[in-house]
Structure 1
Amino acid sequence: MNRRAAPPSTAIALTAALVSVSCSLETGEETLTDSHEFALTGNHLTIATDGSTVELRESDIDTVSFDQYLGGAASDGNASWTVDGDTLLLETTCTGFTPDCSGRYAITVPAGTAVEVTGRGRSVTVAGLSGPVSASLDNGTIDVSDTSGDLDLTARSGHIRTGNTSGALTASITTNHMEIREARGPLTLRSESGNLVVEDIRSSEVTTSTRSGDARLVFAEPPQRVEATSEGSGNVRVTLPAGPETYQVVTEAHRLESEVEHDPASDRLISVVGKDVRLTWAG
């Protein structure tokens, strides 16, 4: 099934019908123009987006439902959605000089659904999902919060932000920056040229790799294994919670400042490689 925003010539004729099904509610400069739901054949939803904003949440429902909000030139026949099996295709494409052109899709999935998002989007926001999530954008922002499933996130020219996640998290950025907060599952993070800010960490295993960006890791609980590598000019800062725990400390740096003493008998490891490395205790 394919729907496209109505052109101006049909907007008046559709107004009464849209009002009757509560599809003309205003949200800022955007208008709720369509709503739809469909059933999945399994437990996996794929979303392919081109120029659209995607918002994901879950509920105790049996079908996938979504609302389409359009603003500016997107309402002039420049946005569409299509359902093809278990794949939802979203497109918002305005040509020429169109500073006001927005297509936003608020999507609700059944609890536990595995979700995969790919394409070129303005942003992807994930809140409260319990199933695994994979999101890969050529450009755009990825924001994830309050999830319990595993996460696999890639932003090639946007940034990634996560908060309060408990599953394993693998994330990669090419430019811009990454902010990871309140993570409890294993972390594998990579940045080509952006900075990594990882704070309030409760993960036992953390691996980070940067090229030209800096990495700052602040732990709220003692980790079991930390491997942080800067392959280029970036600095690495690791802050550990004060306590009785000791660590094997392995470093390779042009400049090293460490408050953490090496204990060869410890079963905990801190391994850091970088141009400028600093290991400190919190407080």
Structure 2
Amino acid sequence: MRRVRAVAAAVLGAGLVAGLGGCADASGAKAEHRAWAFEGKRLTVDVDDAALDVVAADVEKIEVTRRLAGHVVLGEGPKASWALDGDRLRLRASCSGLLTDCDARYEVKVPRALALSVRGRDGAVRVSGFRTAVEARVEDASLRVRDVSGPLDVRSTDGSVDARGIGSRTVRMRSADGSLHLVARTAPALVDTDSRDGSTTLELPGSVAYDVRTEVGDGSTRVSVDRAEDGAHKVRAHSADGSVTIREAG
């Protein structure tokens, strides 16, 4: 009897897995929209277990588009919530059950005058178009930054950081476990990077010389930009375990 029950449970489990089908993809799911008036100077977007795309745009309010997709066996979901609490926009999505396959995606349009902070967990984060200060902290997630010209300060606990089209005077990038990649469109006054476990690649305009200082525990170092000790454009790159490459953008 015990063997029959075990076989039946295995068959049921296989059937449940098959019933979920392929991986959930919310990119084509029905869009839900909401907007909030905001009078502050800096917005914090706090997202958990969902992909996030934050864009500086010609809007007067904070505008959010949400898409959800998924399947749950012996449980519930996908469920999601969104709320603006003071200067913090909280975005949440979840599924719970014996077997789950869920996907949630948020697009947030932010007035151009606002500075931005991001707190992201367990989902890819993308930030683009900001001329104001951008600060981001993500966990178990990749971070992509595009076309930012305000001060940039980004950090990832477990995931890569990729920043391109950057016109910021100051750039700070940190990663505990993941690669760092910067492509600057204008020569920054300061680039400061620190990677515990992952490679670092900095691509900088060749129109100026840089005061470059590197410290690498375990990995190679390659610097091919023009250098000027005590120059106005400073690069500080530290890596505990991973190569450092500093070269001309192009």
Q: Indicate the TM-score class for this superposition, using the shorter chain for normalisation.
A: 0.7 to 0.9
- Distance in structure 1 (CA, Å) of the matches to 2:114 and 2:34: 18
1:181-196 residue pairs with structure 2 within 5 A? 181-184=183-186, 185=188, 186-196=190-200
Which position in structure 1 is the counterpart of 2:22? none
What does the per-residue CA deviation read over 1:163-209, in whole Å, with 9 as the maximum and x for residues that have no partner? 0111121110011211111253221111001110112x03xxxxxxx
- Structure 2 gaps of 5+ residues are 1-24
C-alpha separation between the residues in 2 aligned to 1:113 and 1:44? 5
Residue 179 of structure 1 corresponds to 181
2: CA distance, partners of 1:277 / 1:106? 33
Q: Distance in 1 between matches of 2:53 and 2:83?
A: 17
Residues 271 and 147 (structure 1), Cα distance of their counterparts in 2 relative to 1, 3 Å cut: closer
Distance 1:181 1:131 in 2: 18
- Distance in 2 separating the partners of 1:124 and 1:277: 24
Q: Judge conservation of contact 2:78–2:102 (CA < 8 Å) in 1.
A: no
Q: Which residue number in structure 2 is paired with residue 70 of structure 1?
A: 68
Alignment match, 1:236: 221
Partner of 1:222: 208
Aligned partners of 1:153, 1:60: CA distance in 2, in Å?
24
Aligned 1:129-208 pairs, distance under 5 A: 129-167=130-168, 168-184=170-186, 185=188, 186-199=190-203, 201-202=204-205
CA displacement at 1:77 relative to structure 2: 4.3
Q: Which residue of 1 aligns with 2:5?
A: none
Cα deviation, residue 147, structure 1: 1.0
**After the TM superposition, which of the residue ranges 73-82 and 269-278 deviates more from structure 2?**
269-278
Cα separation, 1, equivalents of 2:138 and 2:117: 11
Q: Distance in 2 between matches of 1:113 and 1:63?
A: 11
Per the normalisation by structure 1, the TM-score is 0.67
Aligned equivalents of 2:154, 2:238: Cα separation in 1: 24
Tell me: higher relative CO, structure 1 or 2? Use CA pairs within 8 A at least 6 residues apart: 2
Match of 1:104 in 2: 105
Post-superposition offset of 1:143: 0.2
| Counterpart secondary structure, 2:194 | strand
**Retained in 1: the 8 A contact 2:33–2:63?**
yes
1:38 aligns with 2:36: yes
Give 1:93 deviation, angstroms. 2.1
Please tell me the root mean square deviation across aligned C-alpha atoms, in Å.
3.2
Report if aligned partners of 1:32, 1:67 keep a CA contact under 8 Å in 2. Answer: no
* Identical columns (%): 23
Q: Residue 134 and residue 226 in structure 1: after superposition, are their counterparts in 2 closer, same or farther (change >3 A)?
A: same
TM superposition shift of 1:42: 1.3
**Could you tell me how far apart the structure 1 residues matched to 2:222 and 2:62 are?**
43
**Alpha-carbon distance in structure 2 between the residues aligned to 1:166 and 1:155:** 21
Distance in 2, Cα, partners of 1:47 & 1:271: 29
Aligned-partner residue type, residue 134 of structure 1: E
Structure 1: segments with no counterpart, 5+ residues: 1-26, 203-219, 249-265
The 5-angstrom pairing of residues 263-278 of structure 1 reads none
Distance 1:84 1:272 in 2: 37
Conserved in 2, the CA contact under 8 Å of 1:155 and 1:174? Answer: yes
